[in-house]
């Protein structure tokens, strides 16, 4: 305990000079966002705060790890004593890491796999963070996508209807009385009439549903489309419609979609975001394909059949799925995503019982 506070006391003098001094800030109060510290002399960042088994923790590293935390976490470490507490957590982190390495855990397959995951994530971010950005999508590319995909942004008015189709007008007139009465007031009641009277087997299988139609649709006769659009409200039932091909239709409107027109200016941001995601994914795939082509890869497919998968409830990681492999088919996370290399958490100053695993980083998700 005494040695621990000796570390904090020794570091406190440096923290007081490097973090709390106001005479060394050359541009104090100018061009800073509210709450941000003044620009810091480069020499301060290299100052050591503590050394643990040859590993030096500098002012710069301390600041970097603390500033990676969320604003809520950072606000807990603004006083001198709180900074010393966070430094103590870094020391304990390094002590635990050193002990884990001495026990050979740095070569543990799970540790190596997790390290590879982090390295892959950092590699992909370093490789693509500046190569493909939203700003790299040109206005010409956005306009070209808009012109090529007009159906996404300009949609005609649509009407959905169900139909009873019969082959004689006299029968249609009799069925119409039922459709306009109590039997046809509900969609289920109208479907029952379709099943009872309709001669169109294809529509009958769908309960008479014609799906959504536009005025340019060709799936049903033009007089039927005109009658469907003439119905003012959802739930309205038409009169007898002569389709002109020897069939007579009775329609019930079941849905209506208004026309949608989005201009290029209105759709530009949506298009830019999509093209940005697509381009990042394409660039990432080309990068990985190039690495695979240059690598010496041997696949022994015969041995793949020897792999046995435990599908029983007892198998697997008792705490969950275990470390997931990075999905290289998914777009990269947003640029400059914090927490790629998480900082260790502040630990309770009181003695802590031995742990089987190091504590999780502060501000990070478990």
State pLDDT tens for residues 125-144: 888 887 888 888 999 999 99
Instruction: Report the alpha-carbon distance of residue 192 to residue 178 in Å, rounded.
Output: 11
Q: Does the structure show a pLDDT above 50 at 27?
A: no
What does the pLDDT average to over 292-296? 90
Pairing status of strand 55-58 against strand 48-52: antiparallel
Q: Which of 42-46, 200-204, 240-244 has the lowest mean pLDDT?
A: 42-46
Q: How confident is the model at residue 59 (pLDDT cuts 50, 70, 90)?
A: confident
The answer to whether domain 157-258 has CATH 3.90.420.10 is no
Q: Who has greater pLDDT, 191 or 60?
A: 191
DSSP characters over 158-178: EEEEEEEEES-HHHHHHHHHH
Q: Write down the mean pLDDT value for the chain.
A: 78
pLDDT bucket at 184, cuts 50 / 70 / 90: confident
pLDDT at 33: 53
Q: What are phi and psi of 164, to 5 degrees?
A: -105, 125
pLDDT at 243: 94
pLDDT value for 317: 53
pLDDT of res. 327: 52
Pairwise pLDDT comparison (328 vs 117), residue with the higher score:
117
The alpha carbon of residue 79 and the mean position of all alpha carbons in its chain are separated, in whole angstroms, by: 37
Q: Using 50, 70 and 90 to split pLDDT, how confident is the model at 210? A: very high
* Token pair belonging to 293: 């082509």
Q: Given a cut of 90, is residue 175 above it in pLDDT? A: yes
**Which comes out higher in pLDDT, residue 249 or 321?**
249
Q: Taking a C-beta distance cutoff of 8 angstroms, is the pair 228, 251 a contact?
A: yes
Retrieve residue 40's tokens. Answer: 């810091």
Going across the sheet that includes 241-242, the strands are 209-213, 158-166, 248-257, 241-242
Would you place residue 199 in the very low, low, confident or very high pLDDT band (cuts 50, 70, 90)?
very high
Give the model confidence (pLDDT) of 313-361 as tens digits.
665 554 444 444 445 444 444 444 433 334 444 443 333 333 334 444 4
Is a pLDDT exceeding 60 seen at residue 29?
no
Query: What's the CA gap between 93 and 74, in Å, rounded?
Result: 18
pLDDT average, residue stretch 75-99: 87
SS3 annotation, 342-364: CCCCCCCCCCCCCCCCCCCCCCC
Locate CATH 3.10.50.40 in the chain. 157-258
**Given the DSSP bridges, would you call strands 158-166 and 209-213 parallel, antiparallel or unpaired?**
antiparallel
Mean pLDDT of 26-42: 54
- Average confidence (pLDDT) over 159-184: 93
Pairing of strands 209-213, 260-261: unpaired
pLDDT at 84: 86
- At 208 the pLDDT is 93
Per-residue pLDDT averaged across 241-261, rounded? 94
Stated pTM of the model: 0.49
The two tokens of residue 365 are: 């998700």
Q: How far does CA 118 lie from the centroid of its chain?
A: 19
pLDDT over 90 (residue 47): no
Question: Which has the higher per-residue pLDDT, 95 or 361?
Answer: 95
Supply the pLDDT for residue 6. Answer: 40
Q: Which of 9-18, 26-35, 87-96, 111-120 has the highest mean pLDDT?
A: 111-120
C-beta contacts of 183-192 below 8 A and 24+ residues apart: 184/237, 184/252, 185/235, 187/162, 187/252, 187/254, 190/162, 190/164, 190/237, 190/252, 191/162
Is residue 288 predicted with pLDDT exceeding 70? yes
Q: Are 339 and 68 in contact (CB under 8 A)?
A: yes
Q: What is the pLDDT of residue 315?
A: 52
pLDDT of 16: 41
Please give the share of the chain, as a percent, with pLDDT higher than 70.
74
């Amino acid at each position: 305990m005494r040695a621990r506070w000796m570390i904090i006391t020794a570091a406190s003098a440096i923290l007081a000079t490097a973090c709390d001094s106001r005479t060394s800030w050359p541009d104090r109060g100018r061009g800073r966002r509210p709450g941000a510290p003044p620009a810091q002399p480069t020499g301060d960042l290299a100052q050591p705060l503590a050394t643990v088994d040859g590993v030096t923790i500098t002012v710069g590293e301390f600041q970097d790890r603390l500033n990676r935390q969320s604003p809520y976490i950072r606000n807990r470490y603004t006083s001198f004593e709180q900074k010393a507490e966070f430094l103590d957590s870094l020391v304990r982190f390094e002590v635990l890491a050193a002990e884990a390495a001495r026990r050979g855990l740095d070569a543990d397959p799970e540790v190596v796999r997790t390290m590879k995951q982090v390295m892959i994530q950092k590699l992909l971010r370093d490789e693509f963070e500046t190569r493909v950005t939203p700003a790299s999508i040109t206005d010409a590319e956005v306009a070209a996508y808009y012109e090529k995909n007009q159906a996404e942004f300009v949609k005609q008015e649509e009407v959905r209807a169900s139909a009873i189709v019969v082959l004689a007008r006299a029968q249609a007139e009799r069925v119409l009385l039922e459709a306009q009465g109590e039997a046809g007031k509900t969609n289920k009641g109208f479907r029952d009439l379709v099943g009872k009277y309709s001669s169109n087997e294809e529509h009958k299988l769908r309960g008479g549903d014609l799906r959504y139609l536009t005025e340019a649709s060709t799936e049903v006769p033009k007089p039927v489309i005109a009658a469907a659009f003439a119905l003012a409200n959802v739930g309205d039932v038409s009169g007898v419609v002569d389709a002109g091909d020897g069939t007579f239709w009775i329609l019930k409107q079941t849905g209506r979609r208004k026309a949608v027109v989005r201009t290029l200016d209105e759709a530009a941001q949506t298009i830019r975001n999509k093209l940005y995601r697509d381009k990042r994914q394409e660039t990432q795939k080309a990068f990985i394909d190039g690495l695979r082509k240059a690598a010496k890869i041997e696949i022994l497919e015969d041995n793949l059949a020897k792999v046995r998968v435990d599908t029983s409830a007892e198998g697997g990681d008792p705490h969950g799925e275990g470390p997931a492999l990075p999905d290289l088919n998914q777009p990269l996370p947003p640029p400059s995503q914090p927490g790629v290399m998480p900082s260790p958490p502040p630990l309770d100053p009181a003695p802590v019982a031995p742990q089987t695993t190091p504590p999780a980083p502060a501000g990070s998700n478990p």
